[in-house]
Structure 1
Amino acid sequence: MKLIGSAASPYVRKVRVVMAEKRLDYQFIKEDVWADDTTISQSNPLGKVPCLIMDGSEAMFDSRVIVEYLDTLSPVGKLIPQQSRERAEVKTWEALADGVMDAGILWRLEATWPKRADTERSQAWMDRQRAKVEGGIAAMSKGLGDKPFCSGIHLSLSDIAVGCALGWVSFRFPDIDWRGEHANLAKLCDKLHLRPSFADTMPA
């Protein structure tokens, strides 16, 4: 398998962490989708990463689709439960984490996209996205409470999604002091970063 993506993307990192936890072999192909010479549309018509290329050149995209598929490839470290209620809980955690990343990316693009003049940037839009990021992090903290992991007592996709989202927020928005405000999330992330899957995929 080949994974096309960026080392800075939190969605790509989520897939890479899952692949490491599942002990799956793959080739990582770095791609800057914002570069003028990007070829990502040849694999994903939406021009986004991550994109997983399977044997036979078949492409799969969207991190949620990819990680669900990867979890079926190996019985090692099952990350998504089979039971409907537990499964829905894990997928809801993933949706919350992805929502934080979605809002953060919209915020960052509005603030930094070089093809937009400073006079064209909307502070109200950026404030709205920041509120979503901070609100989502507060919801993560409330949902985690004093549990060892987001969805019970074992690592699941919930924790991987949350860890990748928070790691990206720290990477792109260091002024957001989520660690100081949510000690339980900081404790969870410190525990996650002891795992090689997280330590080896730090955003850069």
Structure 2
Amino acid sequence: MMDKIEKALRENQAVILPTETVYGLFAQALHQKAVENVYDLKRRPKEKAMNLNVASLEDILHFSKEYPPFLRKLYQAFLPGPLTIILKANEKVPAWINSGMSTVGFRVPSHPKTLAYIKACGPLIGPSANLSGQKSGLKFHEICKFFPSQVIGLEDDSAIKGIDSTILDLSKPRAKILRQGSITQTDIQNCVSDIIF
């Protein structure tokens, strides 16, 4: 039997869910109206692409192309966890996700309940649960003030570390860290020796 959060996701509504970094505003990624609703709620510029929150390496492969041979090793070392991987998108990624760009970012959050919702309803978008340009709230009651009362969510402040995910761009021959989070370049190179920065 579905709980109220899964029901809301299946009805293309936005929900607030915890990750190991910050709270996210999650919705069905492959439904354009659900994605547009999140853009509107966050007041986020449409040219700012969304990530795909997925539940497995197979999901990443399903939506990408030209991935590096070490991708499986990287996944096994760091995911689920606070790492966003950017790869070249294939034709299965709709333009309303990546703003028509040739790439797309992938996240696999490690919070068990959030990951379970992604497995059940995914792929999902899940940008930080705040108004665009404002600091991410670390407390559920703070975040709820940003959004209409009908946006429901899962409260778990204990899961929130407040450190953004590391964004690793693997869409070009040389890897590049676009945003430094809790996972460093040294961490990555120690686990994946054949990656080239």
TM range, normalised to the smaller chain? under 0.3
Q: Which has the higher Rg, Structure 1 or Structure 2?
A: 1
TM-score normalised according to structure 2 size:
0.26
Higher relative helix content: 1
Greater length-normalized contact order (CA 8 Å, ≥ 6 residues apart) = 2
